[in-house]
Chains A and B, each alone.
With several copies, the nearest count.
Chain A
Amino acid sequence: MSLGPVPYDKTSSQALLADMLRIRRLEEAAAEWYGAGKIRGYLHLYIGEEAVAAGAMPCFHEGDDVVATYREHGHALMRGVPMNAIMAEMFGKALGCSRGRGGSMHLFDAGRRFFGGNAIVGGGLPLAVGLALAAQLQHEARVVACFFGEGAVAEGAFHESMNLAALWKLPVLFCCENNLYAMGTALARSESQTDLCVKAESYQVPALRADGMDVVSVRETTQQALARMRAGGGPAFVEYRTYRFRAHSMFDPELYRDRKEVEAWKERGPIHTFSARLKAEGKLTEEEFLALDARAMAEVAAAVAFADAAPFEPVSELGRDVVAQEEP
């Protein structure tokens, strides 16, 4: 299977880069405002892993469904959720994409078929299976993107979901973001079989592997998996090999890994390697890079201002949306 680089034109290449920058700057700001106490609860940064969401998400159509985890700022943004709404949600404000009820771990956007935002490891997989079952029963062509970390593979939910999807030939793309750690637990201390594609194949689910630090590899591999799925082939699995540069959450002292290891991965950082490549290919100048970055930062600054100015929901509304307003 060859995944060699595909000649993207300048515009589409720069768009990919811009997306990664938007995620990166969004999260850097989130970390900053976490420090300032404006964002609270758990905040799980995606920094280092941007190529996955940026490369994979555009492969899905508007009508498709997306399910993600608590580390989903990038996925939400790439799905088209406005940055203002994401930032406001992290600030807990009424104009947040979940009206301040969810916070960082529970971004939702029903209109964009972005089904969240799940803080239970593995919890999204059965949902994705069900969404795909709905599509199948409705004879609709949509597919479901289901993102999760490699730590989730040990959960019973993974096993049951993979089997159901394969057994019923449901259109779920299982997108496993293998960043090598689940909190402080390295893959080899979590799985007897560390080749996750082998695990996926044991359910008769075809599996592909992408370099999750390379947005082109991500995009190509995702498209390849989807092509097969859209032809009616049932579920597929993609392992994106990636790495998180930051701590697991804002509470993690990172005792479990070597700074050297982190530094080595940082050399493969998705943004600077891709921009270097584009420069080498003559598709990007330093000025263009800086302009893209400035645009991302401006978008983030505006989002922060929006979020900060937005109102909290009044406490009188606390009981809203637990169940439907009308009595059945």
Chain B
Amino acid sequence: MKISYREALREALRDALASDPRVFLMGEDVGRYGGSYAVSKGLLEAFGPERVRDTPLSELGFVGAGVGAALGGMRPIVEVMTVNFSLLAMDQIVNGAAALRHMSGGQLHVPLVIRMATGAGRQLAAQHSHSFEGWYAHVPGLRVLAPATIADARGMLEPALACPDPVILFEHVRLYNLEGELGDDPSAWRCDIRSAAMRRAGDAVTIIAYGGGLLRALEAADQLAGEGIEAEVIDLRVLRPLDTPTLLGSVRKTHRAVVVDEGWKSGSLSAEIVARLMEGAFYDLDAPVGRVCSEEVPMPYALPLEEAALPQPGKIVAAVRTLLGKT
């Protein structure tokens, strides 16, 4: 069955709402509008306005309300329309959701899922193109997910809701229209939310990517294969906690790595990946780990500039070639 990333997310929401009365979805325009990226389209009609709840434009307020509702015994799914607006709610996530278990000495916990769209590539300019996955992945107490495949879009919500701690789930805007085959049986998408996944095997170099970067990494790998370079592609999937063993395992085999990250280079998640490889595989590395990230500019609107600012397959290929001394 062909299904889009968007539909996969929607079916996962539908399952969650159907199977657990404690689950509800809330956010700006998730109901009558159908979701700003149409993910929740049709769910209002199926589950009613109490459980598919439109909120006013009050990111701090309704994210905090999600934290409170989780404390009160519900299993809220809060949609923050995009990561850009999540800055307004950051305090409730960092000082509330992430900290309450610890601050209360383990008495409380916050079983909350926050979904948000992330990333650039749609010419939405500086205030609508952020990639702050790395910031959330910095915060103890949170679990951070980045489904990059249709199966993960379909499968990650269930374990996220089962997780007793707050989970941030990033949906990349460039993936919503992605289509692919997915079986009808839950085994086709059942997954854990602790492991990275090898998406392509190879021995010449490890390309590490996540979210919107995965497809570009795979594209680069295909190009490289044409030149006889077999790249192993690892999809991080879970950005916190990082599955370091899988990364190290691959790099110990390939001895070279490139990290792809749509965040601005300095201080992006890619830096942490490099640091982990330094710490765990320094003596296995034949060359410094490369990074292909966004240029350090607020995202420009104009198409050529935006394309130049983002990590593209060509840049990944070039980075791998440099690593292999093939320039």
Write the residues of chain A forming the contact surface with B, with a CB cutoff of 8 angstroms: 40-42, 65, 67, 92-93, 96-103, 105-106, 108-111, 115-123, 125-135, 137-138, 151-152, 154-157, 160-161, 163-164, 167, 182-185, 189-191, 251-253, 255-256, 312-313, 315, 317-324, 327-328
Contact = CB atoms under 8 A, between A and B. Distances in A.
Given A127-B96, A184-B33, A189 B54 contact: yes
B103 A98 contact: yes
B104 A131 contact: no
B98 to A, nearest CB: 9
A121 B126 CA distance: 14
B105 A96 contact: yes
B65 to A, nearest CB: 4
A109 B107 contact: yes
Contacts of B272: none
B58 A119 contact: no
B56 A184 contact: no
Contacts of A115: 68, 71, 108
Interface string B118-143: 00001111111000000000001101
Contact of A161 (B57, B64, B91): B64
A105 to B, nearest CB: 6
Nearest to A161: B61
A102 B108 CA distance: 13
Nearest to B76: A130
B65 A164 contact: yes
Contacts of A152: 57
B105 A123 contact: no
A97 B256 CA distance: 45
Given A40-B123, A313-B302, A134 B68 contact: yes
Interface residues of B, number: 80
Nearest to A146: B68
A132 to B, nearest CB: 8
Given A42-B124, A127-B64, A163-B61, A108 B29 contact: no
Given A185-B32, A251-B36, A318-B300, 17 more contacts: A41-B125, A97-B105, A98-B107, A103-B301, A108-B108, A119-B125, A127-B96, A130-B66, A138-B73, A161-B65, A163-B56, A164-B62, A182-B57, A184-B29, A185-B57, A321-B102, A322-B297
Contacts of B6: none
A256 B88 CA distance: 26
10 contacts: A106-B104, A123-B64, A123-B95, A127-B67, A133-B74, A160-B62, A161-B61, A163-B61, A322-B298, A323-B140
Interface in B144-200: 159, 162-165, 192-194
A131 B308 CA distance: 34
A105 B129 CA distance: 13
A164 B55 CA distance: 8
A328 B61 contact: no
Interface SS of A by simple majority: loop
Interface of B: 24, 28-29, 31-34, 36, 38, 50-51, 54-74, 76, 84-85, 88, 91-92, 95-96, 100-109, 122-128, 140-141, 143, 159, 162-165, 192-194, 295-298, 300-305, 308-309
Contacts of A111: 107
Nearest to A42: B124
B139 to A, nearest CB: 10
A193 B71 CA distance: 28
Nearest to B106: A321
A178 to B, nearest CB: 14
For the complex of A and B, list the 5 residue pairs with the smallest distance between their C-beta atoms, beginning with the closest.
Answer: A130-B68, A126-B64, A134-B72, A184-B33, A160-B61
B104 A116 contact: yes
Nearest to B123: A41
B68 A127 contact: yes
A156 B60 contact: yes
A122 to B, nearest CB: 7
Contacts of B84: 120
A194 B24 CA distance: 26
Contacts of B32: 184-185, 189, 255-256
A42 B102 contact: no
Nearest to A253: B34
Contacts of B298: 101, 322
Given A164-B56, A182-B57, A324 B105 contact: no
A110 B107 CA distance: 6
Contact of A100 (B59, B100, B300): B300
B77 to A, nearest CB: 13
Given A137-B50, A322-B140, A156 B108 contact: no
A122 B103 contact: no
B62 to A, nearest CB: 7
